[in-house]
Amino acid sequence: MSDPKAFYLTTPIYYVNDAPHIGHAYASTAGDVATRWHRQRGEDVWFLTGVDEHGTKVERAADAGGVTPQEWVDRLVEDAWLPVLETIDAANDDFIRTTQTRHKERVQRFWEVVRDNGYVYSSMYEGPYCVGCEEFKLPGDLIAGEGEFEGQQVCPVHSRPVEHLQEENWFFRLSAFQDRLIAHYEANPDAIQPRSAYNEALSFIRQGLQDISMSRSSVSWGIPLPWDEAQVIYVWFDALLNYATAVGYGADPDSPEGRRFAQCWPPDVNLVGKDILRFHAVYWPAMLMAAELDVPRKVFAHGWLLVGGEKMSKSKLTGIAPSQIIDTFGSDAFRYYFLRAIQFGQDGSFSWEDMSARYTSELANGLGNLASRGTAMVARYRDGALPAAHDFGAPEQELITALAAAVEVADRAMLELDFSTGIVAVKEFVDRVNGYVTEQEPWVLAKDEANAARLDVVLYTICESLRAIAVLYNPLMPKAMASLWQQLGAQSTLGPIAEQRIADVARWGQLLPGTAVTKGESLFPRIEEAS
């Protein structure tokens, strides 16, 4: 019997011409939060990320660094790309490098299949190529240059002139898939999101698809074509296949890898930046159709982190390293900020002021304060033992109802990758509970023994609300929520936080009276102002 389909999500694989900046970390963070959410729902999940190591861009960076491409990528992957996953606290299941044997062999096999199916032929390519994008550009793709490039045609993403190529290549018969792609997207309007990306991809396809080079004869750093070793596979037609090779495409179906492929394929979400939409929404499904494989269920194109209105990039020297932010605010706040402050799918700007303001108001004063007040009051008024509560009244019933609504909104939003709506639903519940504490004034109740039963109800309600918040925020802020779980003493009676299910969050009354509650260290410590 085959295993049930796993929820399979991928990030783009990143070029290792340079070290990561927060634009790259943004995509990986989004993928991590989405997959942790699915895990918290109890689903089988496979989360893949990795690096794109071939192509001219990487080869030239290695040249400039005075080392071989392999030395260059080995060093950068070890020193920068693997560590950044730890920095942002990503829980990926695998990390693919396109120089790995598993990838190279399976890419070669894939293109053999496509060639056998009649979709590859030899011809001359002549036209513009942007090394920054590693892309054969079409005439309509270029824009007029400015400043030092005035009078020249430039790439709209890199604002630099493109190179002119003329080489004998192997071509992929993309044009053969135009009608099938249109039919597929018309039948599956959610297969590309957001809507603006869907419209852009469909209008590109409707304008007519031309065949495209799938190999390069003037490049050597890549995977050799199995039938023409003088050429390497065009870097994008090697890189896109990582989504298949990493989960075992081409492996014996009875081997563990072959079974993984059966369980994962097709991807549920290929998460990409909007600059690489065309590769993922047009070329990629066409390649899969040519090899008779199922196409991804969804391609989601997120926006860019901007600096001064332009895409943050290393080549423009505007890249901020994730550790620059995380060293100060921590990985949880980083994850929270970018997914909360920017509507996923839109562009957004990062500013230290905005980050700092939200950290203080929403995390330190909002959630952090609620957690420390709640746990501290159980410690002070009830010797650290969670009291039993009887007679929940109207204020508590309101919270219970609000919680159920928050869970419903958050779950729907997170499944749609609408992170900010999901986060706001939980945040509003946090605000409500903070409001409840202010209204109920447990510190006043504590002054009169006659109010003891009422104080028990209020303290229990605060802790039980924190229990629900911890689970709902666990995919987003795993470190702080593990600490909160610890403070609530929940592990001993409810088990690990990762095993709590979204579907059960709103079930009231899970914390066991008598549990030891402790006020631990502050979840979101005050940030010392830089002098």
Residues in contact with ligand MSP by the rule CB under 6 A: 12-15, 23-24, 26-27, 52, 239-240, 242, 272-273, 275-276, 304-305, 311-313
Minimum distance from CB of 62 to ligand MSP (Å)?
16
Measured in whole angstroms, the distance separating CA 201 from the mean position of its chain's CA atoms is 21
Residue 302 phi, psi dihedral angles, 5° rounding = -90, 170
Of the pair 246, 459, the CB lying nearest ligand MSP is at 246
Cα–Cα distance for residue pair 161/128, rounded to 1 Å: 9
Minimum CB separation of residue 270 from ligand MSP in Å reads: 8
Closest by CA position to 425, among listed 351, 487, 506: 506
Number of H helices, E strands in the chain: 22, 18
314 in active site: yes
Nearer to ligand MSP by Cβ, of 30 and 45: the residue is 30
Taking CB positions, which residue lies at the least distance from ligand MSP?
273
Give the type of residue at 438.
T
Q: How far is the C-alpha of 90 from the C-alpha of 47, rounded, in Å?
A: 10
57 flagged as catalytic: no
Phi-psi region of 273 (alpha: psi -120 to 50; beta: other; left: phi over 0): beta
C-beta closer to ligand MSP: residue 25 or 480: 25
CB atoms within 10 A of CB 203: 9
Report the nearest approach of ligand MSP to the CB of residue 19 (Å): 11
Catalytic (active site) residue 302 = no
Task: Name which of 287 and 459 has its Cβ closer to ligand MSP.
Answer: 287
Task: Enumerate the β-bridge partners of residue 49.
Answer: 95
| Runs of H (alpha helix) within 157-276 | 178-187, 195-206, 235-239, 242-245, 256-264
Q: Catalytic residue among 57, 130, 298, 302, which?
A: 130
Does residue 133 carry a catalytic annotation?
yes
Cα 116 to Cα 43: distance, rounded to the nearest angstrom: 37
Nearer to ligand MSP, 313 or 500 (CB): 313
21 in active site: yes
Active site residue 155: yes
- Give the tokens for residue 334: 């980083």
CB 338 within 8 A of CB 26: yes
- Tell me, what amino acid is at 47? F
CB of 451 to ligand MSP, least distance (A): 53
**Which candidate in 57, 274, 311, 427 is catalytic?**
311
Active-site position among 54, 104, 133, 427: 133
| Closer residue to ligand MSP (CB): 10 or 465 | 10
DSSP secondary structure letter of residue 69: H
> Is 519 considered catalytic here?
no
Say how many residues make up the chain: 531
Q: How far is the CB of 318 from ligand MSP (least distance, A)?
A: 8
| Minimum distance, C-beta of residue 464 to ligand MSP, in the bound complex (Å) | 38
CB of 115 to ligand MSP, least distance (A): 21
Comparing CB distances to ligand MSP, the nearer of 315 and 365 is 315
Q: Rounded to whole angstroms, how far apart are CA atoms 165 and 163?
A: 6
Helices (H), 441-517: 442-445, 452-473, 478-487, 490-494
How far is the C-alpha of 343 from the C-alpha of 522, rounded, in Å?
29
Distances, alpha carbon 210 to alpha carbons 107, 148, 277, in Å = 23, 32, 17
Q: What is the number of other CB atoms lying within 10 angstroms of the CB of residue 86? A: 9
Cα of 260 vs its chain's centroid, Å: 21
Q: Is 280 a catalytic residue?
A: no
Min dist. Cβ of residue 471 to ligand MSP (A): 29
The residue (of 270 and 487) whose beta carbon lies closer to ligand MSP is 270
Active-site positions read 21, 24, 130, 133, 155, 158, 311, 314
